[in-house]
Amino acid sequence: MSGIPSGGRDVAVVLGTRPEIIKLAPLIRLLGERARIVHTGQHYDSSLSGTFFANFGLPRPHLLLDGATGPWGRGDQIGSLTSELARAFVADPPRAVVVQGDTNSTSAGAQAAHYCGIPVVHVEAGLRSGDRAMPEEINRLVVGVLADVHCAATDRAAANLLATGTAPERIRVTGNTVVEATLMSLPAPGERDRIAREHGAHGPFVLATVHRPENTDGAERLRALLTALAGIGERVVMPLHPRTRAKAKQFGLDGLLDRLDVIEPVDHPTFLTLADRARLLVSDSGGVQEEATVLKKPLLVVRTSTERPEAVAAGFSRLVEPGRPLLDAARAALDDPDLHARLAGTASPYGDGSASRQIHALATALADRAPLPGAVPVR
């Protein structure tokens, strides 16, 4: 555990993965001197994570944990992070703790704060897939019990919370911070041209990302996915996640990767530039499901279930299985001459870009023990 003095930073923002940095960056900037950035180290990389902080003009974390990495699995990681965070909160208590989404860091941050008697704000609350085999679903359920203020991105997410007995006065529908984070991180047109040239993003291409265990940890499923991508008939650019690279090598699938335009992982502005220039996105990422609605891009979600049905209902996303279903869906999307025009005229279901401002008002009110602003969802 390492850190710098927190001073008057009384709103602790706990994060541990790059998507959390992206989605919480606008809020951290609004909190200013009140923000205490606590990085659990869950996915910490001094170069890439540092780049993400720099991209958004954020200071380095005020507290950095070691991430509790080891061979003992998820339970050990959450337990160790909860313990470390609890010790930090006892030594220097914040007045409120903000967690985001559904990572192990989210669960640990909410637990540690609750056990220390510190109120918790959950950003992106109320997502539900109904799939208890999904580790993130369990994290969502745990934080749903512990949070004092639930910032739901959509009415549907608020309804999920109400259905499980969450008191309406603790819920606010704020929209999703991904809208302003995406617009903040998307480079200007001239810079996008430069990034595209640098990465050879010329001509038509498909952008694909794969990293979830359900797609990478079984040889047959990963083979079916990569085979379908290789058979689309259009160039596929794939920033390759370390997990996917390792599993492809383990399963002897390097030859399929050779048929794709594999590149190293990229920072957020570069990824958004590539997504903006692509004809089609293929991904198993939760964040990409949301970003696609801001960029107005069609997305094939290679997963068995999704906690973001709003993107599907709006027409941006389609849930597909790897193999032939993915291949057929990709070809159908690429052959649809009206698809991009339809999406260009469709509003993102995740709000108007004011989520961070609303969450800032809620978090500071909670820290100041003041009444919570905003409308309460109707039961």
Which residue numbers are catalytic?
Answer: 211
Helices (H), the chain: 18-31, 48-55, 74-91, 104-115, 135-146, 155-163, 178-185, 189-198, 213-216, 219-230, 242-250, 254-257, 268-277, 286-295, 309-313, 324-335, 339-344, 355-367
DSSP notation for 165-199:
T--GGGEEE---THHHHHHHHSPPHHHHHHHHHHT
Our CA angle for 122, 101, 68, nearest 5°, is: 105
CA distances from 224 to 212, 218, 235, 277, 333 (A): 15, 10, 18, 26, 19
Q: Which residues pair with 122 in a beta bridge?
A: 99, 150
Locate 197 and state its tokens.
């040239």
CA distances from 11 to 14, 114, 274 (A): 10, 14, 35
